[in-house]
Structure 1
């Protein structure tokens, strides 16, 4: 098990890609803590995995608020020990008109999708530096490199995540802390599947451009993340791993 003796902290871990990362990390032997803003889903998922024999802990947190993250972080460290691996997965989509968007909406969006990536790093880096070891994976998106109309300002935030990943890779590499990004393409999360049920024509449009004639399963994204967290990726630092089934090749 490649994450034996590690403490993996995942933001937004109650559903979708985040839930798949929580499960795969636990299956790889890690102690796993995760936060989410949706309490019932988080508590139920933690109970389900605990019943299966995994060491998993949930705490509610709004990643857009540093104080909320700090409370969760302190609870996790008290129960499971210092965090050795971090996955910044939490995020929200945005399709706001650039003229109509308010400063308040802008700040709230970037607090979740970009600032939270810095805030979680701020919390876990001191213990990683002391240990001279650590791994961080930030979930970005193919929208950082190619995007579509009506996604304002989602692409800007995800581009920022990749830039922040590179900054951390350079600044923290001396402490043997590796920071990488994973940029998923279309992934069959419950949210996307519900959207396709409402708009079947959108599913047809999306499938038509997929080189592999399908979309990713959440478990396929999770396995790339846990690889990057593990010592199998011990010299991988500052990279953006595009996991999109070849979709971005159409726009290269």
Structure 2
């Protein structure tokens, strides 16, 4: 069994989708959970659904001042964080020739830089405690990708690289850092992608999965809570594929 009793876990992008599922799974495992998102209404609803174990803070995780305020407020309610899940992210569908530097910075601000900013905000408490776990939600696009999603693969590859670097820096102090790379998971982001494509694209994607189905947010959340827990005490600097085997067809 996964036991997070006594832990305080912060989850970004927690208003819906994978982030909400992770927050719910962590609370079910006994953790106090801090939910961060820019969508106040959905964030409040998700926190209410989880119940007394949840606290929430509206936060744009690309702004370090907002991160500092949110982390401090959640620390007051939940205690020092010993778990962090950098789940917030966005897709990208840019043309490499016409994409502006502002658009580039926006993608990397959400998908990569924010993970470092959040880690920097919580690591002092983890280092003081001598233990902690950070899980970065990357993507199968970190190792394989498709046309029309520039520069998403670059940002997610960077997130896996950040995972390894942080693991090397913090491991001697008892902090583990891992990545999880989901495949096709039934979220609003995936729906957004399929809505941009012909109808047969969804079926083609499903057919590529060894398990014959798309994933659910719960599938990802179960792996994340394992990595947050002491059951994964000897796991760090790893990138876990949660993709129904789809990447095995293209590796």
* 1:58 corresponds to: 56
Question: Are 2:91 and 2:189, in contact at CA under 8 Å, matched by a contact in 1?
Answer: no
* 2:203 corresponds to: 204
**C-alpha deviation, 1:70, in angstroms:** 1.2
* 1:45 corresponds to: 46
RMSD: 1.3
Give me the whole-angstrom Cα distance separating, in 2, the residues matched to 1:18 and 1:61. Answer: 14
Aligned with residue 165 of structure 2, among 151, 164, 167: 167
SS in 1 for 2:213: coil
**C-alpha deviation, 1:109, in angstroms:** 1.2
* 2:22 corresponds to: 21
* 2:139 corresponds to: 141
**C-alpha deviation, 1:63, in angstroms:** 0.9
Unaligned runs of 5+ in 2: none
* 1:225 corresponds to: 224
Say whether residues 1:76 and 2:74 are aligned partners.
Answer: yes
What is the TM-score normalised by the length of structure 2?
Answer: 0.96
Give me the whole-angstrom Cα distance separating, in 2, the residues matched to 1:147 and 1:196. Answer: 15
Give me the whole-angstrom Cα distance separating, in 2, the residues matched to 1:67 and 1:98. Answer: 31
* 1:88 corresponds to: 86
Give me the whole-angstrom Cα distance separating, in 1, the residues matched to 2:177 and 2:240. Answer: 11
Give me the whole-angstrom Cα distance separating, in 2, the residues matched to 1:159 and 1:196. Answer: 22
* Alpha-carbon spacing, 1:194–1:98, altered in 2? closer, same or farther (3 Å): closer
Question: Are 2:11 and 2:19, in contact at CA under 8 Å, matched by a contact in 1?
Answer: yes
SS in 2 for 1:10: strand
What is the TM-score normalised by the length of structure 1?
Answer: 0.96
Question: Are 2:4 and 2:229, in contact at CA under 8 Å, matched by a contact in 1?
Answer: yes
